Structure 1
């Protein structure tokens, strides 16, 4: 009877996975050592070459981008995308409003203290509504939500004004845009969106001025069905038209404001990105 040969266990090893494991273990020893600090992929790649390893720059960069310490201290981007209004092309769809203080312009018996400004986002058409009173002793008592609501209703109901009730009304979080103002907007089915943050000849000049973004004056743009505007700053990437949205299974860190963590002024050792990871909702 012939002798049986012993069975030999064969383990198949993926060369790619083995390479990634080798890269990860080695770079972890170099990057997290007490001495030395490699802020970017080029410096870490040079440190690996000095240690007689043949890792490519792409391998080093891919590993470094997945490290939490590198992510939270990663430099702030030079260009930070903001909410773009270029996708709003229909006049009288979105309006912005804010109140400006005036230098106590007195006409007759009335002293004008404030000016309510409304801007149509698509056409850039602007109107200004002066707000005055006979007495200036109680300035805050004049600028109330009731006063703003009355001024808005008069302007939107004016048949000579091309601005009509919009779909969305953008304001700041000031008390003058609450209470009666919010109640008025709900009556006309206008959605209010809060932001974080008197001479009619001037307004007439603004509305007749040909803007660089539109190519036509706001007076002409407000009567059109659609208005296409150029971005204020040149940008090679997408600026709001049909942007691809991240799926809900993507983990992200968000860019911190200077005072998000400690409060006050930013310090040299503060994080640039959130220390925690969040899901896209």
Structure 2
């Protein structure tokens, strides 16, 4: 095997490999950004009175979205402001998702890294430095995550900041049939603890017990499925039980420590015993 020294290509001044080309590469394969197994939701997304968002990416379980802004050359004040502005607009329009701002540039200088760092911890923000490299007759992209997302605490754990909703809000958003499934899920929960009630917020439906709100179990109803997240320590036993059950199980979410899966109509009856056991563990009953 022969070592070949790559040649860095400056995309900002290149006549062929421009910003559109770079966006195409990310849109075709979002894994280039090394943010996980993401899907392209939209590109050049119109923002009210604020231009267009370059790329909107979403995780396969449809619980988190990434607002991605791409800039050739070095980042600047306008790029940072635009990224944060689009992130803010999207999270206000779609509060049922978690949102992360992603800033991509060929060069992120220490000066602007310091500025960006001021927001980190208060705004979920990722900064990625991207380099185009020529190796022989081929071109590749090299990624360096220079600033990762830092969370001071889970928003879901601070119930006072959650926008209050009610049953009517979720009936309009997800439809009455899926809210009927939510009713059945709470009937199952009440067999474990008769004091449990739904806690309706705009991002999700949580649980409340004697007035005390909890995010140990949360539901995000959609038109055809319900996304369920259960806070549980990851164990081989629980993982195997869920993955072999036939449920649509997502990746374990390490940050909040949650198992995630989706329930379609009919899944509750098929998996009633499994759901009861899983909920019981989360409630530590």
Q: Tell me if both proteins adopt one fold, taking TM over 0.5 as the criterion.
A: no
**Which of the five TM-score ranges fits, normalised by the shorter chain?**
under 0.3
User: Max radius of gyration: which structure?
Assistant: 1
By relative contact order (CA 8 Å, sep 6+), the higher-ranking structure is 1
Please identify which structure carries the higher strand content.
Answer: 2
Q: What TM-score do the two structures reach when normalised by structure 2?
A: 0.22
